[in-house]
Structure 1
Amino acid sequence: MPELPEVETTVKSLNILKNKKVTNLNVYVKKLRYPVPSIRLKRIINSHITNLRRISKYVILDFDNFHTMIVHLGMSGRLKIVTTDRFRDKHDHLSIKFNNNSYLLYNDPRRFGFIDIVESDRLKDLKYIKKLGIDALDKDFSIDYLFKKVEKSEVLIKQILLNQYIVAGIGNIYASEILFDAKVSPLNKGKDLNKYQIGTIIKSTRKILKKAILLGGSSISDYISPDGTLGNFQKNFKVYGKEGSMIRGHVIKKVNLYGRSTFFCPNFQK
């Protein structure tokens, strides 16, 4: 699933569409994770993109007619920019044509993503946006903030990092990498962590996510940026997907936590 770095990379690649005018739009499927709002999407025809941004794992496109389109990439979704939609892939579910004759396509083989559109001033009131926790790269993601969220929690810290209502943007890949970098075991309960450990987790979160963005995210299965390039952060994985490998003489282990594969090195993570 695309996580914060992949979504941020996607948004940066899409910035070439800023100020472009939508001249046509076609929806080729009735339902992704949720029904596609085909009629409402037509409202952006003849409008210009004024801004492209990220909220958590959502791609946000603002238009000058005061409408905002929200795209969640799900497990396998991607946005791609092409110069023709004549050779549309069977998994291309949305096509937006612009006045420079380029097309923005939404491709999603597994259909776990979704597309929504609202009046821009209603974006913050959407349930799935309103319930989000602080962004993982927000300057206010602080020791005090996270400590208050975990100090009485029986939940394991790995699962806390995956809870989008506490901290938004981190997924399974980066949670394992962050905790390894912080030297904190994913098996620790939130209540058992002290402020120093919380501080190292926050520092490692910023370090890992920023480096991943710099390297274009991680391409380990489906992720490709809109311009067709692959991410490179997967070459920097220390533990994710490395079960049985050795790191400085110690073995990397894999455990299943809450139904998710978790990779860590017990000798370095306490």
Structure 2
Amino acid sequence: EFARRAKYIIIHLDETESLLLHLGMSGRLLFDGPPQGRHEHLTFHCEGGTVLRFVDPRRFGLLLLAERSGLASHPRLAGLGVEPLSPTFDGALLHRRFAGRRSDVKAALLDQRLVAGIGNIYACEALFRAGISPRRRAGGLGRRRCERLARAIVAVLEEAIAAGGSSLRDYVDADGRAGNFQNEFRVYGREGEPCPGCGTPVRRIVQGGRSTFFCTRCQR
């Protein structure tokens, strides 16, 4: 049985134990298929003959054994914020979470304690769709902007899931298929290319050690 919390994959082994898995930068799970050589760090032999392989070339992934009954209070999960695809996520909640925050809104979106599971790519894309500058102070966003941003976050994530994710380097799903959402990027990775909304060249800056892509004209 599989579940997810933020960027963690949870594999319930039985009624008492679970595996907590984070793929890191290059990790992936593969069902069946041939052995993956030295990058295959763990192999699960399941009932019915299915083989599940944990492959992680850059070795930034994480795999922990945990008690199923204590997952909610596990140190890796206890401090995580609201799930953006949950029924409770909306602009009002985002506005409350951002209140008093002096950091820029891009950093706030990546703060897993505020909203869980949003990565760099999807933060850039959601901010573009919402027309909000990544440099704007999170605590200064009004209710309407937060509502617009919340809708954009949900739309981007739902579209990315439907497209099988984003394959920039070596990401593939459990069946070995690459994602397609990278073909729908409007600003991410498109430095210098024309903004799809106004034609202004997309700009790249660095925030918190991460690349941010945005349109200086469309995003205010």
TM interval, shorter chain, is: over 0.9
Q: How many pairs align?
A: 218
Question: Aligned AA for 1:212?
Answer: A
**Conservation of the 8 A alpha-carbon contact between 1:253 and 1:265:** yes
SS at match of 1:147: helix
Amino acid at match of 1:148: R
Report the residue type matching 1:191 in the other structure. G
Please list, as runs of the form range in 1=range in 2, the aligned pairs for 1:63-102 lying within 5 A after superposition: 63-83=13-33, 87-102=35-50
C-alpha contact (below 8 Å) 2:91/2:148 kept by paired residues: no
Mapping of 1:146-157 within 5 angstroms?
146-157=94-105
Report which of the two structures shows the higher radius of gyration computed on alpha carbons. Answer: 1
What's the secondary structure of 2:211's corresponding residue? strand
The CA deviation string for residues 62-117 of structure 1, in whole angstroms up to 9 with x for no partner, is: 13342111110011100001155xx4421000001123222111011111111011
Which runs of structure 1 show a deviation greater than 6 angstroms over 4 or more consecutive aligned residues?
A: none
Distance in 1 separating the partners of 2:101 and 2:21: 32
Larger CA deviation: 259-268 vs 94-103: 94-103
Native 8 Å contact 1:83 1:102 kept in 2? no
The percentage of aligned residue pairs carrying the same residue is 37
Matches within 5 A, 1:200-215: 200-215=148-163
TM-score scaled by length of structure 2: 0.96
User: Of the candidates 246, 257, 260, which is equivalent to residue 210 of structure 2?
Assistant: 260
Structure 2: runs of 5 or more not aligned: none
What residue number does 1:185 align with?
133
Please tell me the root mean square deviation across aligned C-alpha atoms, in Å. 1.1
Match of 1:142 in 2: 90
Partner of 2:10: 60
Give the structure 2 partner of residue 111 of structure 1: 59
In the alignment, is residue 194 of structure 1 matched against residue 169 of structure 2? Answer: no
Tell me which amino acid in the other structure corresponds to 2:208. Answer: Y
Q: Do the aligned partners of residues 88 and 261 (structure 1) sit closer, same or farther apart at CA in structure 2, a change above 3 Å counting? A: closer
What's the TM-score, normalizing by structure 1? 0.78
CA deviations on 1:207-252 (whole Å, 9 max, x unpaired) are 0000000000000012111101010000000000000001232110
1:121 aligns with 2:72: no
Structure 1, unaligned runs of 5 or more: 1-50
Counterparts of 2:145 and 2:94, CA distance in 1: 11
Q: Distance in 1 between matches of 2:47 and 2:11?
A: 17
